[in-house]
Structure 1
Amino acid sequence: MDTLDREIQTPNSGRKQGGWITFPFISGALAGLTLAGGGWVANLIVYLIQVFNLKSIDAAQVSNVVNGGSSLFPIVGAIIADSFLGCFSVVSIFSCISLLGTGFLALTATLNSLSPQPCNDGSSFCKAPSKVQFLVLYAGIALASIGQGGTRFTLATMGANQFHKSQQQGIFFNWYFFSQYTASVVSSTAIVYIEDNVSWGVGFGLCVAANFIGLVIFLLGNRFYLHDKPQGSPFMNIARVIVAAFKKRNLPLSSMGEDYYNEHNHPMTMEAAAPKNSFRVLNCASLIAEGDVGSDSSIAKPWSLCTVQHVEDLKTLIRIIPLWSSSIFLGTPIAIQASLTILQALSMDRHLGQHFKIPAGSILVVVLISTSIFLTLIDRFLCPMWQKLTRKSPSALQRIGVGHVLNVLGMAVSALVESKRLKIVHVHHLQSQPTSIVPMLALWLFPQLVLVGIGEAFHFPGQVALYYQEFPASLRSTATAMIALIIGISFYLSTAIIDFLRRVTSWLPDNINNGRLDNVYWILTVVGVLNFGYYLGCARLYKYQNVEKAVADSSG
């Protein structure tokens, strides 16, 4: 990594800033915050069922809402970072919010007055939590989710901002996701095991400690970071382009570059002076009309005139939206599988040998392990091999496409495994026995999770790199948060789909042994195939705006 390091000297101290010297602090902070978040999120369904006496499908729905919320808040954090505070302040503030929320969750697990009385397995007289107990629980979940969401992808943006070249940024994203998934493996195994076998209080207490340590590590690296300077809300500029284009919709367009407004402090070449011909309807927003420009060459009417750059920035967003939307139905099956696989694991034999039993909340660690392993293989072997064969690095669109295919295969395998599980249920007449363990090893769930994990190793870093490199510079934090927005929408959409299927079918009862979960997976497989076709169409029509230029710059 030393050869890729970027060294920037401050005028007075001569201290190196930016580059790989910042990675230990960023990855250390990421590891601590991921341990904290993963430690309670991974086992939330089990916690709600065993401690707060929620029904299984209801607990899965709550988990989907929580995962959706923690994935939507990165957009809020990104907007604040891009527009007002910068990445460093946003990560610091949201880490403190996460620490507070995790502390509330630890209290619900340690104080008897904040949780309902334990419920015996199979009992129909379980006491529901009180309003105060629900209030503290959901306050902790909300604060922890907000904090986790506000830090995760803003931290990724801050790390990428430490490098100039797209090649270095791509390597950073690979190692960033490797650090994240490795920490998730630890939280989903060690911490979840402690929660299941020692106590929930100790497990959640470790989450609090990990959050605090991550925050301290992040703050210790402050003197090494390159700090970004917010330039005001970029979304206001987008709104101005739309309003100005509407106002001037009847004006005839010009082919002369001097008829369009460019910022006087950012001179452009004659080739780039005029807006491009794509989405011509927006070009009139930068067309200079009488009274639009003041005597000092500044914009006199901000809602009637915009720069060519602002117009082109909006066009860039419009071009990438179809590609972005195709990933929503890439994330939705993963979200549905994540919650329902835990319910499957609860009904299966989770023993490894005579003395060890896999915690149900840890079953998804298979996804994390397979993703971590393949992130390393992709970076060290597959990408160099591809580059030797084709003399090009695999493009972000190619990596995303591979992820689509593997995701579809994962859903198909999920359907086949669930069909086998249901056959065993019927052979042993377990349909009416929700607490009975199906004599089928939970290891049967591993292949589908491995396929999904390998798919994530391809498409998640590919998406983040694509958005970061293609989005306007003023929207860099928002760019990395776009993947989080996809995940958030996917979890909420998965909640809506599960709720819809519960209403119109009998496939998802509280006792999944009496349902048809395999039909759900087959539907997801079909939707995945159709969505992959849509993605191929979008990818074929999309033309890179910045990636090819960045690659040329880095090679030069």
Structure 2
Amino acid sequence: MQGYGMITLASTLSVQHSSPASDIDSSLGPSSLHVAFFYASLYLIAIAQGADKPCGLAFAADQFDADNPKERASRSSLFNWWFFSMAVGISVAVAVVSYVQENVGWGVGFGMLCVIMLCTFAIFLVGTPTYRLYAPNPGAESPFARLARSLSALARSSNFATRYHRGGEEDEDAAAKSEEARGVLRLVPIWAACQAYGVVYAQVMTLFNKQGRALDRRVFGGLELPPAALQTLGPVSILLFVPIYDRVLVPTLRCVTGSPSGLTLLQRLGTGMAVSLAAVSVAALVEARRLETAREHGLVDDPGATVPMSWAWLVPQYAMMGVADVFAMVGMQEFFYDQMPGELRSLGLALYLSVTGIGGFISSALISFIDRVTSSGGGDSWFADNLNRAHLD
């Protein structure tokens, strides 16, 4: 709330500063203090999300008893509907909040978000009497300290496969912590493999958006959609697919596989990765068609031209990424929550969140590297500003 309050104030001050009626010379631009205040609000929001998302989801999942088969199945369903709710929020943000910010004012748009966060916090507090709370274990420590102690115990063993055999409570505790550390380290290869999905996920808000900017985005005759509006196609497909997956596919698969969740967690992850592979393959074919259309109409050297090709060509790739998210993103949430020791589950969900963050960095590094290599001979980069001479395909 504080972050959104600060960014609301920063946006309001920015409008006042640039107003022609202001006594301040708007040509000087914002002051250093104003810029610092704005960036501080952004980083405060980012830090708050980094703390809230893993802890909030872990807390919600803890409301279900893992030892009860019915509650365990309900917990699996929670991850689906949690992601469904996030898709609703994203859809509203892109469709409504962005419109308010562009047409009414950025201060009003951010102010709306601040009020929403205030109401959300109030509702969370009202529900306190109904929550299932667990008494902390005696001598409980933070997840980071516990993980550090477990890794230290593992490092003190003669090798990763050796356990303590000297007997005694202290040795048993060290053996338990050593085994806990092994369990966490066994997740590292899965986490590393998921980075590939994080790279694909990064394209939805970047290169997919760049494709849409070059296409004919008119609807209902003359109304032109902004490129960012096309990003709602992904959340919409999530909204449509989550109920189908949770209420139709899971019961059907449960009868076939015998697993309460229909698919095992790794099967769900693998399915999401396969669908994402198909999505970027379709995106490559669509981009190849767009380049061919640009050549046919002599638009190769006109970077600002709208290629006579409908935005509807992008629907399949956005929809497929939405379906992939339901499999892979929700699968990662449940996997890293389920496979972590009880005291480290919020840390496990933080691992899931890091996939999208690190995937974005890897994507940026790949684009920078390919851009430098493909433009080194003086030719057009694959990521040229003139998309019609580029090779997103």
AA aligned to 2:4 is: L
Secondary structure in 1 aligned to 2:308?
strand
What is the alpha-carbon distance in structure 2 between the residues aligned to residue 176 and residue 398 of structure 1?
Answer: 20
What are the Cα deviations for residues 435-467 of structure 1, in whole angstroms up to 9, with x where unaligned? 332222222111101111101111122221122
CA drift at 1:143: 2.1
106, 111, 135: which one aligns with 1:205:
111
Secondary structure in 2 aligned to 1:323?
helix
158, 166, 174: which one aligns with 2:59:
158
AA aligned to 2:391 is: R
What are the Cα deviations for residues 414-440 of structure 1, in whole angstroms up to 9, with x where unaligned? 111111122222333333433332222
463, 469, 483: which one aligns with 2:338:
469
Secondary structure in 2 aligned to 1:182?
helix
Match runs of 1:185-334 below 5 Å? 185-228=91-134, 231-247=140-156, 249=158, 279-281=160-162, 283-284=163-164, 287-288=165-166, 299=170, 306-334=173-201
What is the alpha-carbon distance in structure 2 between the residues aligned to residue 226 and residue 162 of structure 1?
Answer: 5
What is the alpha-carbon distance in structure 2 between the residues aligned to residue 426 and residue 128 of structure 1?
Answer: 42
CA drift at 1:361: 1.6
What are the Cα deviations for residues 209-251 of structure 1, in whole angstroms up to 9, with x where unaligned? 222222222222223223455621243344334444544529x
Match runs of 1:463-542 below 5 Å? 463-505=332-374, 506-518=381-393
254, 258, 262: which one aligns with 1:391:
258
AA aligned to 1:185 is: S
Q: Which runs of 5+ in 1 are unaligned?
A: 1-95, 115-125, 251-278, 519-556
Q: 1:504 to 1:201 in 2, by over 3 A?
A: same
Does 2:240 align with 1:365? no
What is the alpha-carbon distance in structure 2 between the residues aligned to residue 134 and residue 497 of structure 1?
Answer: 30
Assess if the C-alpha contact under 8 Å between 1:104 and 1:140 holds in 2: no
Q: 1:245 to 1:193 in 2, by over 3 A?
A: closer
Secondary structure in 1 aligned to 2:382?
coil
Secondary structure in 2 aligned to 1:440?
strand
What is the alpha-carbon distance in structure 1 between the residues aligned to residue 114 and residue 151 of structure 2?
Answer: 45
CA drift at 1:188: 1.5
CA drift at 1:129: 7.2
What is the alpha-carbon distance in structure 2 between the residues aligned to residue 225 and residue 128 of structure 1?
Answer: 50
Secondary structure in 2 aligned to 1:429?
coil
Does 2:286 align with 1:417? yes
TM norm structure 2: 0.85
1:107 aligns with 12
CA drift at 1:346: 2.2
What is the alpha-carbon distance in structure 2 between the residues aligned to residue 407 and residue 105 of structure 1?
Answer: 38
What is the alpha-carbon distance in structure 2 between the residues aligned to residue 194 and residue 151 of structure 1?
Answer: 26
Secondary structure in 2 aligned to 1:507?
coil
Q: 1:370 to 1:306 in 2, by over 3 A?
A: same
Assess if the C-alpha contact under 8 Å between 1:102 and 1:144 holds in 2: no
Q: 1:170 to 1:108 in 2, by over 3 A?
A: farther
AA aligned to 2:74 is: Q
CA drift at 1:131: 4.7
Q: 1:154 to 1:511 in 2, by over 3 A?
A: farther
* Aligned length in residues: 370
AA aligned to 1:145 is: A
2:377 aligns with none
What is the alpha-carbon distance in structure 1 between the residues aligned to residue 270 and residue 88 of structure 2?
Answer: 24
AA aligned to 2:299 is: L
Q: 1:385 to 1:247 in 2, by over 3 A?
A: closer
AA aligned to 2:142 is: S
Assess if the C-alpha contact under 8 Å between 1:402 and 1:459 holds in 2: yes
What is the alpha-carbon distance in structure 2 between the residues aligned to residue 441 and residue 418 of structure 1?
Answer: 12
Secondary structure in 2 aligned to 1:431?
coil
Q: 1:397 to 1:369 in 2, by over 3 A?
A: same
Match runs of 1:137-176 below 5 Å? 137-165=38-66, 166-176=72-82
The Cα RMSD (Å) is: 2.7
What is the alpha-carbon distance in structure 1 between the residues aligned to residue 258 and residue 36 of structure 2?
Answer: 58
Assess if the C-alpha contact under 8 Å between 2:54 and 2:349 holds in 1: yes
135, 138, 152: which one aligns with 2:36:
135
1:405 aligns with 274
What is the alpha-carbon distance in structure 1 between the residues aligned to residue 130 and residue 117 of structure 2?
Answer: 21
What is the alpha-carbon distance in structure 2 between the residues aligned to residue 139 and residue 322 of structure 1?
Answer: 35
Q: 1:478 to 1:280 in 2, by over 3 A?
A: same
Assess if the C-alpha contact under 8 Å between 2:12 and 2:106 holds in 1: no
What is the alpha-carbon distance in structure 2 between the residues aligned to residue 202 and residue 406 of structure 1?
Answer: 39
TM norm structure 1: 0.61
Does 2:218 align with 1:351? yes
What is the alpha-carbon distance in structure 1 between the residues aligned to residue 200 and residue 366 of structure 2?
Answer: 10
What is the alpha-carbon distance in structure 2 between the residues aligned to residue 510 and residue 104 of structure 1?
Answer: 35
CA drift at 1:374: 1.1
Q: 1:202 to 1:357 in 2, by over 3 A?
A: farther
2:308 aligns with 439
What is the alpha-carbon distance in structure 2 between the residues aligned to residue 420 and residue 497 of structure 1?
Answer: 24
Q: Which runs of 5+ in 2 are unaligned?
A: 20-26, 67-71, 375-380
Assess if the C-alpha contact under 8 Å between 1:185 and 1:369 holds in 2: yes
